[in-house]
Amino acid sequence: MRFGITTPIVTLNPTGHAPWESVAGPEELTRIATCADRLGYHHLTCSEHVAVPVSKEQTRGATYWDPLATLSWVAAHTSNICMATHVLVLGYHHPVEVLKRYGTLDVLSGGRVILGVGVGSLEEEFGLLGADFANRGELADQSMRDIRQGWGERVVGDMVVAPHSPRSDVELWVGGRTPRSLRRALEHGTGWAPFGMTDVELSTALTQHPRPDDFEVILWAYGLDPLAAPDATAERLGQLAELGATNINLRFVSRSVEHWCEQAEALMSL
C-alpha cells in the first residue's frame, strides 16, 4: 500500500484545513513537498476549481490553487514524488489540451504525472466557462478514451502535439462520490479515487464490482495524528486497507508547517 499527501495550503476546505494554511504560501508549500519527497511518499495532490460561487463558499471553500501551475512548481523542487491532479474536471478542458499541458509537465518532471480526473458537479462553474453541464458524463467518458489513446503520442488525429509525455501510459484515477464513478473508472481508468463516501458505501461498491489485479483504489484518511495518537492512526489505515485501498491520501492534524513535517515523518515510522 502506498501513501500520498492531501497537500495542505493549495485547497482550503472549510471543514478540513488548519488555520496556519490560510496564511501560508509558496515557501511553506515547498517545505511540505520536499519533506514528503525526502520521506518517500508516493504522491501529492492538487485539485481544480476555477471559481466558486459566493453562495457556496461556506460549503465548498474558495481557495483552489491551479493544479498545473502548482504541480509545475512542485516538480521543480522535488525529485521522486509523483504529482496527482485530484481532480481535473474534464469538461473544462479539450483532451488534446490535457495531452499538451500535462504531457509537458511529464517531460519536465521525468514522468511523474498522475491524472486524477472527474466529471464535475458545480453547474455555475460550467456555465461560467461555457462548458456543457448536461452532457458532462458522456463527454468525460470520451475525453478519458482520447487521453489514454493519445498519451505519449506525437501525432493525435492529424495534429502534432509537441512536446508530449515521454511515456506511452499514464495513471488515470477517476474521482467521484457515487458507485457510478467506480464503474466509469473500471471502464476508462486505471484506478478509483472516491471522496465523500462512507466506509459502508465504499465497501458495498467495491464488493459489487470485481477489479483487475493492477487496478488502484485510492482512499482518504483525514484528521490523522501519528505523533499523539499512533495507535488510532494505524487502526484507521488498517481499516482502509481492509476496504481495499492500494493508495491512501493522508491529511494530518497540524499546527504549523514544522508540525506537519513532524507528523509526516512519524507516519512513516509506524
pLDDT score, position 79: 98
Q: In this structure, what C-alpha cell is assigned to residue 21?
A: 494554511
pLDDT score, position 13: 86
Mean pLDDT per 10-residue segment, the chain (270 residues): 97 90 98 98 98 94 97 98 97 98 98 98 97 97 98 98 97 94 97 96 96 97 97 98 98 98 97
Query: Is the whole model's pTM more than 0.85, yes or no?
Result: yes
- Cβ burial, residue 176 (10 Å; 0-12/13-18/19+): buried
The CATH class of the 2-268 domain is alpha beta
Q: For residue 269, which amino acid is it?
A: S
pLDDT score, position 47: 96
Please report, for the chain, the start and end positions of each structural domain, with discontinuous segments joined by +. Answer: 2-268
Q: Which stretches within the chain are classed as H helix?
A: 26-39, 57-60, 67-77, 95-109, 123-129, 136-150, 179-188, 199-208, 230-243, 257-268
pLDDT score, position 19: 95
pLDDT score, position 197: 95
DSSP string, 17-54: --GGGGG--HHHHHHHHHHHHHHT--EEEE---S---G
